[in-house]
Chain A
Amino acid sequence: MNGFFYIAAGVAIISTIFVITGKNAIHALLYLIVSFLSISVIFYLLDAPFIAALEVIIYAGAILVLFIFVTMMLNIVIEKKKEKKWLKPRMWVIPVILAVTLFVDLVFAVKSVPSHTIEKGIVLPKELGIAIFTRYLPAVEITAILLLIGVIGAYHLGSQKKKVFHRFLEKK
Protein backbone atom coordinates (compact mmCIF):
# COMPACT_ATOMS: atom_id res chain seq x y z
CA MET A 1 0.00 0.00 0.00
CA ASN A 2 2.91 2.36 0.58
CA GLY A 3 3.84 2.09 -3.09
CA PHE A 4 0.47 3.54 -4.04
CA PHE A 5 1.22 6.56 -1.90
CA TYR A 6 4.51 7.21 -3.67
CA ILE A 7 2.93 6.78 -7.11
CA ALA A 8 0.06 9.14 -6.32
CA ALA A 9 2.44 11.66 -4.72
CA GLY A 10 4.70 11.59 -7.77
CA VAL A 11 1.78 12.11 -10.14
CA ALA A 12 0.50 14.99 -7.99
CA ILE A 13 3.88 16.75 -7.87
CA ILE A 14 4.61 16.34 -11.59
CA SER A 15 1.17 17.52 -12.68
CA THR A 16 1.38 20.50 -10.27
CA ILE A 17 4.71 21.47 -11.84
CA PHE A 18 3.02 21.39 -15.24
CA VAL A 19 0.25 23.62 -13.85
CA ILE A 20 2.58 26.36 -12.66
CA THR A 21 4.81 26.25 -15.75
CA GLY A 22 2.13 25.81 -18.39
CA LYS A 23 1.31 28.48 -20.93
CA ASN A 24 -2.04 27.24 -22.16
CA ALA A 25 -4.72 27.80 -19.53
CA ILE A 26 -6.91 24.86 -20.55
CA HIS A 27 -3.99 22.43 -20.45
CA ALA A 28 -2.95 23.76 -17.05
CA LEU A 29 -6.50 23.26 -15.77
CA LEU A 30 -6.55 19.67 -16.99
CA TYR A 31 -3.24 19.04 -15.22
CA LEU A 32 -4.76 20.60 -12.11
CA ILE A 33 -7.62 18.11 -12.31
CA VAL A 34 -5.06 15.27 -12.51
CA SER A 35 -3.32 16.69 -9.46
CA PHE A 36 -6.56 16.88 -7.47
CA LEU A 37 -7.52 13.34 -8.45
CA SER A 38 -4.18 11.96 -7.29
CA ILE A 39 -4.50 13.90 -4.01
CA SER A 40 -7.90 12.28 -3.65
CA VAL A 41 -6.21 8.87 -3.99
CA ILE A 42 -3.92 9.93 -1.16
CA PHE A 43 -6.93 10.88 0.96
CA TYR A 44 -8.36 7.43 0.35
CA LEU A 45 -5.06 5.85 1.41
CA LEU A 46 -5.11 8.02 4.55
CA ASP A 47 -8.36 6.38 5.69
CA ALA A 48 -10.58 9.29 4.73
CA PRO A 49 -12.84 7.86 1.99
CA PHE A 50 -15.56 10.47 2.49
CA ILE A 51 -13.08 13.32 2.07
CA ALA A 52 -11.68 11.60 -1.03
CA ALA A 53 -15.18 11.57 -2.53
CA LEU A 54 -15.67 15.23 -1.59
CA GLU A 55 -12.36 16.12 -3.24
CA VAL A 56 -13.45 14.49 -6.49
CA ILE A 57 -16.96 15.92 -6.42
CA ILE A 58 -16.32 19.47 -5.25
CA TYR A 59 -12.72 20.29 -6.22
CA ALA A 60 -12.29 18.32 -9.44
CA GLY A 61 -15.98 18.42 -10.27
CA ALA A 62 -17.34 21.82 -9.34
CA ILE A 63 -14.50 24.29 -8.79
CA LEU A 64 -12.42 23.22 -11.79
CA VAL A 65 -15.50 23.23 -14.03
CA LEU A 66 -16.09 26.81 -12.91
CA PHE A 67 -12.50 27.61 -13.93
CA ILE A 68 -13.04 25.98 -17.33
CA PHE A 69 -16.23 27.98 -17.93
CA VAL A 70 -14.42 31.22 -17.19
CA THR A 71 -11.53 30.16 -19.46
CA MET A 72 -14.03 29.68 -22.26
CA MET A 73 -15.29 33.25 -21.78
CA LEU A 74 -11.80 34.78 -21.97
CA ASN A 75 -9.76 35.11 -25.11
CA ILE A 76 -7.22 32.34 -24.66
CA VAL A 77 -5.33 32.76 -27.94
CA ILE A 78 -4.22 36.31 -27.18
CA GLU A 79 -3.40 35.47 -23.57
CA LYS A 80 -1.31 32.49 -24.64
CA LYS A 81 0.91 34.75 -26.74
CA LYS A 82 1.27 37.14 -23.81
CA GLU A 83 2.14 34.29 -21.46
CA LYS A 84 5.22 33.47 -23.51
CA LYS A 85 6.36 37.07 -23.19
CA TRP A 86 5.71 37.19 -19.44
CA LEU A 87 7.35 33.90 -18.54
CA LYS A 88 11.05 34.63 -18.90
CA PRO A 89 13.42 32.09 -17.32
CA ARG A 90 15.16 34.64 -15.14
CA MET A 91 11.87 35.52 -13.45
CA TRP A 92 11.88 32.07 -11.91
CA VAL A 93 15.19 32.39 -10.07
CA ILE A 94 14.37 34.44 -6.99
CA PRO A 95 10.94 32.90 -6.20
CA VAL A 96 12.35 29.38 -6.54
CA ILE A 97 15.28 30.26 -4.26
CA LEU A 98 12.88 31.69 -1.67
CA ALA A 99 10.57 28.69 -1.84
CA VAL A 100 13.43 26.20 -1.60
CA THR A 101 14.78 28.09 1.42
CA LEU A 102 11.39 27.89 3.11
CA PHE A 103 11.14 24.21 2.23
CA VAL A 104 14.55 23.45 3.76
CA ASP A 105 13.33 25.26 6.86
CA LEU A 106 10.25 23.03 6.85
CA VAL A 107 12.38 19.90 6.46
CA PHE A 108 14.42 20.83 9.52
CA ALA A 109 11.26 21.62 11.48
CA VAL A 110 9.70 18.27 10.60
CA LYS A 111 12.87 16.31 11.19
CA SER A 112 13.45 17.87 14.61
CA VAL A 113 10.47 16.01 16.10
CA PRO A 114 10.81 12.22 16.44
CA SER A 115 9.23 10.40 13.53
CA HIS A 116 6.12 8.32 14.08
CA THR A 117 4.34 5.94 11.78
CA ILE A 118 0.70 6.42 10.91
CA GLU A 119 -1.20 3.28 11.74
CA LYS A 120 -4.48 1.93 10.63
CA GLY A 121 -7.45 3.67 12.15
CA ILE A 122 -10.32 4.64 9.92
CA VAL A 123 -12.51 7.64 10.71
CA LEU A 124 -15.98 6.82 9.48
CA PRO A 125 -18.25 9.43 7.88
CA LYS A 126 -20.65 8.86 10.78
CA GLU A 127 -18.13 10.17 13.31
CA LEU A 128 -17.40 13.08 11.02
CA GLY A 129 -21.09 13.96 10.77
CA ILE A 130 -21.53 13.72 14.53
CA ALA A 131 -18.51 15.98 15.06
CA ILE A 132 -19.68 18.57 12.52
CA PHE A 133 -23.30 18.79 13.55
CA THR A 134 -22.81 18.75 17.31
CA ARG A 135 -19.48 20.29 18.34
CA TYR A 136 -18.88 22.43 15.28
CA LEU A 137 -22.43 23.51 14.50
CA PRO A 138 -21.69 27.27 14.87
CA ALA A 139 -18.82 26.88 12.40
CA VAL A 140 -21.17 25.19 9.94
CA GLU A 141 -23.61 28.08 10.23
CA ILE A 142 -20.84 30.63 9.70
CA THR A 143 -19.72 28.65 6.65
CA ALA A 144 -23.27 28.78 5.32
CA ILE A 145 -23.24 32.56 5.70
CA LEU A 146 -19.88 32.65 3.88
CA LEU A 147 -21.29 30.69 0.97
CA LEU A 148 -24.27 33.06 0.85
CA ILE A 149 -21.84 35.98 0.70
CA GLY A 150 -20.07 34.20 -2.14
CA VAL A 151 -23.31 33.81 -4.08
CA ILE A 152 -24.34 37.44 -3.58
CA GLY A 153 -20.84 38.75 -4.38
CA ALA A 154 -20.51 36.69 -7.54
CA TYR A 155 -23.95 37.84 -8.67
CA HIS A 156 -23.16 41.46 -7.98
CA LEU A 157 -19.76 41.37 -9.67
CA GLY A 158 -20.90 39.29 -12.59
CA SER A 159 -24.01 41.26 -13.49
CA GLN A 160 -23.61 43.37 -16.61
CA LYS A 161 -24.78 46.93 -16.89
CA LYS A 162 -28.00 47.37 -18.75
CA LYS A 163 -27.30 48.38 -22.33
CA VAL A 164 -29.06 51.41 -23.71
CA PHE A 165 -28.05 50.94 -27.32
CA HIS A 166 -28.27 47.99 -29.57
CA ARG A 167 -24.89 46.29 -29.58
CA PHE A 168 -24.21 47.20 -33.23
CA LEU A 169 -24.73 50.88 -32.52
CA GLU A 170 -22.39 50.88 -29.56
CA LYS A 171 -19.07 52.70 -29.82
CA LYS A 172 -16.07 50.38 -29.67
Chain B
Amino acid sequence: MITLPLDIQLLFAGILFMLGLVGVLVRRNIFFILMSIEIMLNSAGLVFIIASAYWKQPEGQAMFIFILAVAAAEVSIGLALILRVYHHYRTLDVEAINKLKDKE
Protein backbone atom coordinates (compact mmCIF):
# COMPACT_ATOMS: atom_id res chain seq x y z
CA MET B 1 0.00 0.00 0.00
CA ILE B 2 2.90 2.36 0.66
CA THR B 3 5.76 3.12 -1.67
CA LEU B 4 8.61 3.99 0.63
CA PRO B 5 12.28 3.15 0.30
CA LEU B 6 13.31 0.01 2.11
CA ASP B 7 15.98 1.71 4.20
CA ILE B 8 13.59 4.16 5.89
CA GLN B 9 11.43 1.30 7.12
CA LEU B 10 14.44 -0.70 8.28
CA LEU B 11 15.78 2.35 10.11
CA PHE B 12 12.44 2.81 11.84
CA ALA B 13 12.62 -0.78 13.08
CA GLY B 14 16.23 -0.11 14.12
CA ILE B 15 15.19 2.95 16.15
CA LEU B 16 12.55 0.92 17.97
CA PHE B 17 15.09 -1.84 18.68
CA MET B 18 17.60 0.66 20.04
CA LEU B 19 14.96 2.21 22.30
CA GLY B 20 14.23 -1.24 23.70
CA LEU B 21 17.96 -1.86 24.16
CA VAL B 22 18.40 1.42 26.07
CA GLY B 23 15.45 0.43 28.24
CA VAL B 24 17.02 -2.94 29.07
CA LEU B 25 20.37 -1.32 29.89
CA VAL B 26 19.11 1.63 31.91
CA ARG B 27 16.17 0.43 33.95
CA ARG B 28 16.64 -1.38 37.24
CA ASN B 29 13.02 -2.35 37.61
CA ILE B 30 12.63 -5.91 36.34
CA PHE B 31 9.11 -5.12 35.18
CA PHE B 32 10.32 -2.37 32.83
CA ILE B 33 13.10 -4.63 31.59
CA LEU B 34 10.49 -7.18 30.52
CA MET B 35 8.54 -4.44 28.74
CA SER B 36 11.69 -3.33 26.89
CA ILE B 37 12.28 -6.92 25.80
CA GLU B 38 8.77 -6.91 24.36
CA ILE B 39 9.62 -3.75 22.39
CA MET B 40 12.75 -5.42 21.01
CA LEU B 41 10.87 -8.59 20.00
CA ASN B 42 8.22 -6.50 18.32
CA SER B 43 10.73 -4.51 16.31
CA ALA B 44 12.40 -7.75 15.19
CA GLY B 45 9.00 -8.93 14.01
CA LEU B 46 8.56 -5.64 12.18
CA VAL B 47 11.74 -6.35 10.21
CA PHE B 48 10.30 -9.73 9.20
CA ILE B 49 7.09 -8.09 8.00
CA ILE B 50 9.05 -5.48 6.03
CA ALA B 51 11.04 -8.25 4.35
CA SER B 52 7.83 -10.15 3.65
CA ALA B 53 6.31 -7.07 1.98
CA TYR B 54 9.50 -6.52 0.01
CA TRP B 55 9.81 -10.05 -1.39
CA LYS B 56 6.01 -10.54 -1.53
CA GLN B 57 6.35 -13.92 0.15
CA PRO B 58 4.41 -15.21 3.17
CA GLU B 59 7.50 -16.56 4.96
CA GLY B 60 8.12 -13.37 6.92
CA GLN B 61 4.58 -13.31 8.23
CA ALA B 62 4.85 -16.98 9.23
CA MET B 63 7.99 -16.10 11.17
CA PHE B 64 6.14 -13.24 12.88
CA ILE B 65 3.51 -15.69 14.12
CA PHE B 66 6.27 -17.83 15.63
CA ILE B 67 7.78 -14.73 17.27
CA LEU B 68 4.34 -13.97 18.69
CA ALA B 69 4.12 -17.43 20.24
CA VAL B 70 7.64 -17.12 21.69
CA ALA B 71 6.77 -13.70 23.14
CA ALA B 72 3.60 -15.05 24.73
CA ALA B 73 5.41 -17.99 26.35
CA GLU B 74 8.26 -15.73 27.50
CA VAL B 75 5.90 -13.17 29.03
CA SER B 76 3.90 -15.75 30.94
CA ILE B 77 7.04 -17.35 32.43
CA GLY B 78 8.66 -13.96 33.06
CA LEU B 79 5.66 -12.50 34.85
CA ALA B 80 5.32 -15.61 37.01
CA LEU B 81 9.00 -15.23 37.94
CA ILE B 82 8.48 -11.53 38.71
CA LEU B 83 5.60 -12.35 41.04
CA ARG B 84 7.74 -14.97 42.76
CA VAL B 85 10.65 -12.54 43.15
CA TYR B 86 8.38 -9.84 44.50
CA HIS B 87 6.84 -12.14 47.09
CA HIS B 88 10.28 -13.26 48.22
CA TYR B 89 12.27 -10.01 48.25
CA ARG B 90 9.52 -7.35 48.40
CA THR B 91 11.26 -5.38 45.67
CA LEU B 92 11.56 -5.35 41.89
CA ASP B 93 15.17 -4.13 41.88
CA VAL B 94 17.31 -6.43 39.75
CA GLU B 95 20.33 -5.77 41.96
CA ALA B 96 18.52 -7.34 44.90
CA ILE B 97 18.31 -10.68 43.12
CA ASN B 98 21.94 -11.18 42.15
CA LYS B 99 22.56 -13.91 44.68
CA LEU B 100 22.02 -17.47 43.57
CA LYS B 101 22.60 -18.99 46.99
CA ASP B 102 19.68 -19.35 49.33
CA LYS B 103 19.50 -17.10 52.36
CA GLU B 104 20.69 -18.85 55.49
Contact = CB atoms under 8 A, between A and B. Distances in A.
Contacts of B62: 128, 131-132, 136, 139
B2 A102 contact: no
Contact of B31 (A25, A39, A121): A25
A128 B66 CA distance: 12
B36 A51 contact: no
A20 B22 contact: yes
A31 to B, nearest CB: 10
How large, as a class, is the contact surface on chain B?
35 or more
Given A63-B72, A115-B6, A157-B84, A86 B46 contact: no
Nearest to A80: B29
Nearest to B3: A117
A5 B2 contact: yes
B32 A46 contact: no
B97 interface: no
Interface string A6-49: 00010011001101101001001100100110010011111110
A54 to B, nearest CB: 6
Interface in A122-172: 122-123, 127-128, 130-132, 136, 139, 143, 146-147, 149-151, 153-154, 157-158
A103 B6 contact: no
Given A70-B83, A102-B21, A50 B73 contact: no
* Residue of A25, A44, A127, A143 with most chain B CB atoms under a 10 A cut-off: A143
A157 B7 contact: no
B76 A20 contact: no
Given A95-B22, A136-B62, A67 B35 contact: yes
What 10 pairs across the A-B complex have the smallest Cβ distances?
A150-B73, A20-B23, A95-B25, A157-B80, A121-B56, A131-B58, A154-B76, A46-B53, A99-B18, A128-B58
Interface of B: 1-7, 9-12, 14-16, 18-23, 25-29, 31-32, 34-36, 38-39, 42, 46, 49-50, 52-54, 56-59, 61-62, 64-66, 68-77, 79-84, 86, 91-93
Interface of A: 1-2, 4-5, 9, 12-13, 16-17, 19-20, 22, 25, 28-29, 32, 35-36, 39, 42-48, 50-51, 54, 58-59, 62-63, 66-67, 70-71, 73-74, 79, 82-83, 86-87, 91-92, 94-96, 98-100, 102-103, 106-107, 110-111, 113, 115-123, 127-128, 130-132, 136, 139, 143, 146-147, 149-151, 153-154, 157-158
